[in-house]
Structures are given as structure tokens and as C-alpha cells.
Amino acid sequence: MRIAMIGTGYVGLVSGACFSEFGTDVVCVDKDAGKIDRLKRGEIPIYEPGLDQLVAKNVKAGRLSFTTDLAEGVAGCDAVFIAVGTPSRRGDGHADLSYVFAAAEEVATAVDGPTVLVTKSTVPVGTGRKVKEIVDRVRGGGDIEVASNPEFLREGSAIEDFMRPDRVVIGADTDEARETLRALYRPLYLNETPILFTALETAELIKYAANAFLAMKITFINEVADLCEKVGADVQQVARGIGLDGRIGGKFLHAGPGYGGSCFPKDTLALVRTAQEAAAPIRIVETVVEVNEARKRRMAEKVVAHCGGSVEGLTIGVLGLTFKPNTDDMRDAPSLAIVPALQQGGATLRAYDPEGMAEARRLLDGVTWCQDTYEAIEGADCLVIITEWNAFRNLDLERVRGLMKRPRIVDLRNIYKPEDMAEQGFDYLSVGRPAAP
Ligand code: NAD
């Protein structure tokens, strides 16, 4: 089979490479000529573990190629996937569908025969029907089927997630569309992946409901963490105590600085807007959005309080800027709220992130960018751990203490034990856990 992937970002590139690994011929198309040039030279424009080998292997095998020419890419394809961005529309929080509709129009104009046009981007309920209208308008009806196949991969473990998903969701109206997608995902039958066939609308909503539920779970444990801090309980033990209950499950119960990233913030907001417009508001998600926004700002206040009520004139070392480890993605990262708030408080910031620095430099001003962990810590009055990269989990604490002006740490990811830090002489604050006695 042959497919095209329109949009070669975190989702399009990973999905394209994985489909080619399954034995399908894949052409990845992107408007960004710089991105396609780099891919043609064998460079991977994003950081995603294992992606460089997977891409190289399948390019070498002749199953994976890259182009900026959409017409060339979609020629002779059994299916064309749209994997372009759907960011929040400025001002109202709705998903901006202009990239999706533009791609649909371009594909409908360019395809040379019957195909299935599959939306992999996260799009609000009703988008698939609008894509169908565009396609029928451009082609005068008929030979293009429309389907929805939302993607659930996570940055940082994207290849494993795509190859061994908990489920695949396919929204389609016709047997032709269902059969094409079933054939593309056939390799997953081997590991008995559940494949759900639904209507377009249902598939679209499954994606938003899943992301909103996960965002809600994180926000729930974050608020429990706040309560723990007031009453002397330990949120990690609470999380374990509830997570062992099979009805609750232990995942997504790590208290921290609030969720960020390229999906949860925009998808929760878009679901809120969709639900309000449908006159079926989802009030619990409205609250999740509000609580999470406020939380990111409050994390800076937590640092200020730990520094005695003011950071004016202080040097603060920051470890981790990306919204989570193992990615270079900075979209809506908590650091983007925390760092400027500390600067406004009068602090000088020194920061290091293993993969996110190039992007962080574009988004944050006035930060001293450091080459490594220990350089960021040098001369700091306080160290703030924002992202739990493995590289920060096993610091040489004696060296850290020696480098700092004052041995003060705010660990927003709970990667150290309060008692160990107290023993090492640190004034240590974490999230939802009592200080060591
Ligand atoms: P991204 O910004 O990394 O990539 C999108 C790419 O599409 C860009 O390279 C852009 O140049 C390209 N593009 C835009 N319009 C185009 C057009 N008309 N023709 C060709 N290329 C075009 O985005 P992403 O993170 O990969 O997300 C894509 C979609 O997948 C979004 O809807 C997102 O919500 C969803 N999603 C993302 C993740 C994730 O972890 N990033 C996970 C699941 C779902």
C-alpha cells in the first residue's frame, strides 16, 4: 500500500516512519522546505528517542521519502493522512482548523484517483463532515472517502506508543474507508491491539474526552497535593494508595507544576468551547483549565516564598524547560510561566535543558543559557527543578551544594527524597510532601 502524510511534525513524522516500518510506502509532505531539506539530508528536525534510526532504516529500504510537493506526494495513494497542527485560535480557545481545511482542499485538488482522506490531527467534533464538504465541493463529489483516526502517541515515547497502542480509533462511514484503514493497521492485529470502529463524530470526541480526562486526573492530584501541604500528608503515598485501586489506576497521578505541552492545554480549551456551543457545557473541564492556568503562576510564588518572600537580586538556577522529559517541545511548558514570573520578581535566571534550549532561547528573554547542569547551578541562591529529565535525578549533591551560594532547592517534580536532601544540608521544598523532620 502507499500513503501520504501531510504535515511532518511530531505526529506526522513518527506516524509516517512507523507505517513505513510496517511495510507501507510512505511519502511525508510538509510546506516547511527547511524541514524537508533536513530530512532529505538524513537529519531529524525534532528530538524523539529512536526516530533517527527508524527513519534512516526505512529511507534506506526505499519505503519512506520526503517532499514539499503535495501533488507528487499524494499521487497513487490508498490513503492520505492529514497531520497538520490544530493550535488554539487566538482569543477564543477554539481549535484553529485553517491548516486542516487548507490541507484538505489541496489534497482534494491534487489526488489523481479514489483515496481515503484521514484526519489524524486532533480536530473538534464535526470537522470530518466539514472536510467531506470541502472535498465534495472541490471534486464534485464521489471518489474520496473521509475518515477520522485520532492519534494518541506521547512525545518522548512516540514510537513505542504508535507500535504498541492501547487502542486504535477509526471513525468512518463507509466499508471502503474502514477496509483501507484496517489493512494499514493490520500489523497491530499481531499484538491484539483493540481497533474501535465508530462514526466520525464519535472518533473525534474520543480524542478530546481522553485528553480532558487525563488533564483532569493530573489537576486532581495537584489539588490533593496542595491539601497535603496544608495538613502534613504525603501526596505520593496518597497517589499510590488510590492508584492501586484498579478503578482509578496509578498513571497520571504525579503531582507537579501543572500540565503543559502541545496537546492538553489547547485540547481542554477546545473541548470547553465545543461543549459550550453545543449547549452541553462540561463544567468539570472548565474548572480544570482554570485551576491549571493559575497553578503554573503559583509555582513561581512557591519559589519566591521558599526564598524568604522575595527573589529581588537573587540568582536562580533552573533545571529543565521542556514540558516533559525526552522531548524538545516547549509548547505551553510550565517554564514559560515560571521563568518570566521570577524575572519580574527581580531574579537573575541561569538555565539548562538537555534538548529544549534552542527552542527556549526563542521563547524566553534575559536568561543566562548554560552548557550543562552544574553551570546552571553555579552561584545560585535557589535551584528550581522544573522538568524531570533523567540527567537531573542523580546529581552529585555535594558538588551542587559547593556550587550554590545558598543550598536551597525547589523540586517541582518530586525527584528527590526530603529526608536525603535534609541530610545533605539542603533547604528543600517539593510538591505535596512534608519537609523532613
Ligand atoms: P507540528 O506543529 O509538530 O507539525 C505540523 C506540521 O504540519 C508542520 O511541520 C507544518 O509545517 C505542517 N503543515 C501545516 N500545514 C501544512 C500543509 N497544508 N501542507 C503540508 N504541511 C503542512 O504538530 P504536531 O505536534 O505533530 O501535531 C499535529 C496534530 O496532531 C495536532 O492536531 C495535534 O493536536 C495532534 N497530536 C499531537 C500529539 C503530540 O504529542 N504532538 C499527539 C497526538 C495528537
Q: Do 184 and 277 sit in the same domain of this protein?
A: no
Position 331 in a domain? yes
Q: How far apart are CA 18 and CA 203, in angstroms?
A: 21
Query: According to the model, what pLDDT value does residue 421 have?
Result: 97
CB 146 within 8 A of CB 131: yes
pLDDT in tens, 100-110: 999 999 999 99
Residue owning grid cell 524566553: 364
Q: Which atom of ligand 1 is nearest to 84's Cα?
A: 7
Q: Which residues contact 286 (CB under 8 A, 6 or more apart)?
A: 272
The H or E element spanning position 109 is helix 98-110
CB 377 within 8 A of CB 320: no
Residues flagged as binding site for NAD(+): 30, 35, 86, 122, 155, 266, 331
The three-class DSSP label of residue 220 is helix
Q: How far apart are CA 11 and CA 28, in angstroms?
A: 11
Q: Is the pLDDT of residue 437 over 80?
A: no
Q: Taking residues 134-147, what's their average pLDDT?
A: 92
Q: Do 75 and 19 sit in the same domain of this protein?
A: yes
Q: Which of 15, 74, 81, 84 is the pocket-test mutation for ligand 1 (most atoms within 8 Å of CB)?
A: 84
Q: Taking residues 116-128, what's their average pLDDT?
A: 98
Q: Taking residues 181-193, what's their average pLDDT?
A: 93
129 pLDDT band, cuts 50/70/90, is: very high
Helix and strand numbers, DSSP H then E, in the chain: 17, 14
Q: CATH number, domain at 353? A: 3.40.50.720
Q: Do 142 and 281 sit in the same domain of this protein?
A: no
Q: Is the pLDDT of residue 436 over 90?
A: no
* Active site (catalytic) residues: 263
Q: Is the pLDDT of residue 58 over 90?
A: yes
* Tally of domains in the chain: 2
CB 5 within 8 A of CB 26: yes
Q: Do 177 and 240 sit in the same domain of this protein?
A: no
Q: Taking residues 202-228, what's their average pLDDT?
A: 98
- Could you list the beta-strand ranges (E) of 283-332: 315-319
380 pLDDT band, cuts 50/70/90, is: very high
Q: How far does the centroid of ligand 1 lie from the alpha carbon of residue 278, in Å? A: 26
Q: At which of 171, 198, 225 does a domain end?
A: 198
Q: Whose CA is nearest to atom 2 of ligand 1?
A: 85
Query: According to the model, what pLDDT value does residue 63 have?
Result: 98
ipTM: 0.99
10 lines ligand 1 (CB under 6 A): yes
Q: Whose CA is nearest to atom 20 of ligand 1?
A: 30
Query: According to the model, what pLDDT value does residue 191 have?
Result: 80
Position 112 in a domain? yes
Q: Taking residues 135-145, what's their average pLDDT?
A: 90
48 lines ligand 1 (CB under 6 A): no
211 lines ligand 1 (CB under 6 A): no
Q: How far does the centroid of ligand 1 lie from the alpha carbon of residue 271, in Å? A: 18
Q: Is the pLDDT of residue 394 over 90?
A: yes
Dihedral (CA of 236, 237, 239, 244) sign: positive
69 lines ligand 1 (CB under 6 A): no
35 lines ligand 1 (CB under 6 A): yes
Q: What percent of the chain has pLDDT over 90?
A: 96
| Residue 217 amino acid letter | K
Q: How far apart are CA 36 and CA 325, in angstroms?
A: 26
Q: Do 26 and 93 sit in the same domain of this protein?
A: yes
Q: Do 291 and 396 sit in the same domain of this protein?
A: yes
Q: Do 150 and 299 sit in the same domain of this protein?
A: no
Please give the mean pLDDT across all residues of the chain: 97
Query: According to the model, what pLDDT value does residue 142 have?
Result: 77
Q: Taking residues 55-72, what's their average pLDDT?
A: 98
**427-429 and 408-411 beta bridge pairing:** parallel
Q: Which atom of ligand 1 is nearest to 154's Cα?
A: 40
With residues binned 3-state (H G I as helix, E B as strand, rest as coil), the percentages for the chain, rounded to 5, are 45, 15, 40
∠ Cα 236 241 242 (to 5°): 105
85 lines ligand 1 (CB under 6 A): yes
Domain that holds residue 30: 2-198
Position 204 in a domain? no
CB 158 within 8 A of CB 185: no
Q: Do 174 and 268 sit in the same domain of this protein?
A: no
Q: Do 180 and 258 sit in the same domain of this protein?
A: no
Q: Is the pLDDT of residue 256 over 90?
A: yes
